[in-house]
Amino acid sequence: MINKKIVLLCQDCDSTNIVYNALTSKFNIEYVICENAPSRRLLIKRRCQKLGVFRVIGQLFFQVIIQKLLKYAASDRIEEILRINNLNKQPIEKIKVDFVNSVNSEHVIKLLQKIKPDIIIVNGTRIINESILTCVSSVFINTHMGITPKYRGVHGAYWALINKDKNNCGVTIHFVDKGIDTGNIIAQSTIEITELDNFATYPYLQISKAIPLLLATIKGICCNSGDKIAVINNNLESILWYHPTIWEYCYFRIYKGIK
């Protein structure tokens, strides 16, 4: 294993478990800092202020009803994707994890300054404040489920399919800055969709493509320095996407056949 201090800054989810298990097969993870899910009430309030009550209600109905049904229907396909790509979603042992209420807390700053990691891998957290990004000299790397900058935000593969943009249906490894998925691009890859796939399986296809890119990125940083890692400029327009509403999903499924 390469002797570099690596910290995983994450939320508790399948993709975090997959990333952790993949990384520990090649590198030493010094510390895992896991952010507790933010208050649902606070999230809804903020979304309503930004997007409007009507749209947020539609998003909630989609997440509570449609998204759960899709994941249940695709359970066999998800297991197939995990098996074919040798992905392990076994949960991280709780004893190895420091749970925090916010990735942007003073506690996290003190932890990072104490650990002094060389590389911080980000997965699934809320937007990271500049105070965290600048509290240590570490390189912050994120896996984004979409091709940036055209599919920033959430569900990049789904929105690319809606736009008939298969060439930009994929995943991005990028440096983290204070924007929303706006950091310099390190690597990107596209995914192939089959008839068996739907909204619930796209993230698993994306993470299967992301893992080799992430491992190669970390190896490159360990062999060089973060500043020497080549970055990509794909000259795409920059767009921020949000969760679909239940009526958007139903409309696009009926008229565009996107599951």
Known catalytic residues are 144
Q: Are 162 and 258 in contact (CB under 8 A)?
A: yes
Roughly how many angstroms between the first and final C-alpha of the chain, as a whole number? 41
Dihedral (CA of 122, 140, 88, 200) sign: positive
Angstrom distances, CA of residue 6 to CA of 24, 43, 101, 239: 10, 30, 21, 31
Q: Are 162 and 241 in contact (CB under 8 A)?
A: no
Q: Are 187 and 216 in contact (CB under 8 A)?
A: yes
Angstrom distances, CA of residue 33 to CA of 11, 105, 119: 8, 12, 13
- Give phi and psi for 163, each to the nearest 5: -85, 5
Helix (H, G, I), strand (E, B) or coil at 167: helix
Structure tokens at 235: 């000259």
Q: H-helix or E-strand containing 34?
A: strand 27-35
- Closest among 174, 150, 180 to 162, alpha carbons compared: 150
